[in-house]
Amino acid sequence: MNPKSLPTPDTYPLLLKCVRETLIDGQRRIDAQRVRTYWETGRVIQADILKNADRAEYGTRVIKRLAKDLNIDSTNLRRCVQFAKVYPDMPIVDGRQQFTWTHFRKLIAIDKKEIHWIIETKGMESEETQFKDRAATIWCENASSLTDKKWRYKKVSQQKFKELQPTNLADLEVI
């Protein structure tokens, strides 16, 4: 039986509103807080690194030490620092956060030439797409300069990605 064809009591609209507010809006608030947390973490670490800029390789060492002391992967801390560098101001538009954390974290792959790729599949594009693409490109430039590893960004049509169904990075070269 189709759920839309089920008879609904008069209270259903109120139930729908409550569930939407609780679940959907709650998930948005959680993700917004996650973005704020990672941005603030990156900002605090970056400020400390800048204060100690006269000490060679301080940034790399302090991130490794924090990761060890906090029992977390140093990659997460590096992402936070990169995030704060790419967005020196918390990314808010019209009083609302622009993206979720998953928008900031994309599929990352490493090719045979040791280039780290951020690959984003894109279905529908809007006016904001060019800004997102530019932010990803800047992130890659900053990551390259901070880590001495090459980072690149590639946007792939979601339709072509589905048609191709790539199993490795080399498959994407034809797109």
* Residue 11 confidence (pLDDT) above 80: yes
For residue 155, give the H/E element and its range: strand 150-157
| Final residue belonging to a domain, choices 90, 118, 138 | 90
Asked if residue 153 is part of any domain, the answer here is: yes
Q: What is the pLDDT of residue 91?
A: 60
17 and 55 both lie in a single domain = yes
Q: What is the pLDDT of residue 5?
A: 60
| Final residue belonging to a domain, choices 65, 90, 115 | 90
Tell me which of 111 and 24 has the higher pLDDT.
24
Q: What is the pLDDT of residue 93?
A: 43
Is the sign of the CA dihedral 41, 44, 46, 52 positive or negative?
A: negative
118 and 68 both lie in a single domain = no
119 and 151 both lie in a single domain = yes
31 and 76 both lie in a single domain = yes
Residue 84: closest CA among 69, 63, 67, 68: 63
| Final residue belonging to a domain, choices 56, 90, 124 | 90
Tell me which of 165 and 1 has the higher pLDDT.
165
138 and 82 both lie in a single domain = no
113 and 70 both lie in a single domain = no
C-alpha to C-alpha distance for 75 and 78, rounded to whole angstroms: 5
Query: Is there a contact between 116 and 79 (Cβ–Cβ < 8 Å)?
Result: no
C-alpha to C-alpha distance for 160 and 172, rounded to whole angstroms: 10
Q: What is the pLDDT of residue 117?
A: 80
Asked if residue 23 is part of any domain, the answer here is: yes
Amino acid, single-letter form, for residue 153: Y
Task: Provide the number of structural domains found in the chain.
Answer: 2
Asked if residue 4 is part of any domain, the answer here is: no
Asked if residue 70 is part of any domain, the answer here is: yes
User: Alpha-carbon dihedral of residues 152, 153, 158, 160, nearest 10 degrees?
Assistant: -40
Q: What is the pLDDT of residue 92?
A: 56
Q: Domain of residue 57: give its range.
A: 9-90
**129-169, pLDDT tens digit by residue?**
888 888 888 888 888 887 777 888 888 887 887 777 766 67
Q: What is the pLDDT of residue 43?
A: 93
**Tokens of residue 100, six digits:** 């979720």
**48-101, pLDDT tens digit by residue?**
999 988 887 888 899 999 999 999 988 889 888 877 876 777 765 444 555 566
76 and 121 both lie in a single domain = no
112 and 86 both lie in a single domain = no
β-strand pairing of 150-157 with 115-122: parallel
Asked if residue 101 is part of any domain, the answer here is: no
C-alpha to C-alpha distance for 91 and 97, rounded to whole angstroms: 6
Confidence of residue 2 (pLDDT cuts 50, 70, 90): low
C-alpha to C-alpha distance for 66 and 62, rounded to whole angstroms: 6
Q: What is the pLDDT of residue 7?
A: 60
Q: What is the pLDDT of residue 63?
A: 92
Q: What is the pLDDT of residue 99?
A: 58
For 69-85, b/e burial (b = at least 16 CB within 10 A) is eeeeeeeebbbbbbbbb
Asked if residue 95 is part of any domain, the answer here is: no
Q: What is the pLDDT of residue 94?
A: 43
127 and 159 both lie in a single domain = yes
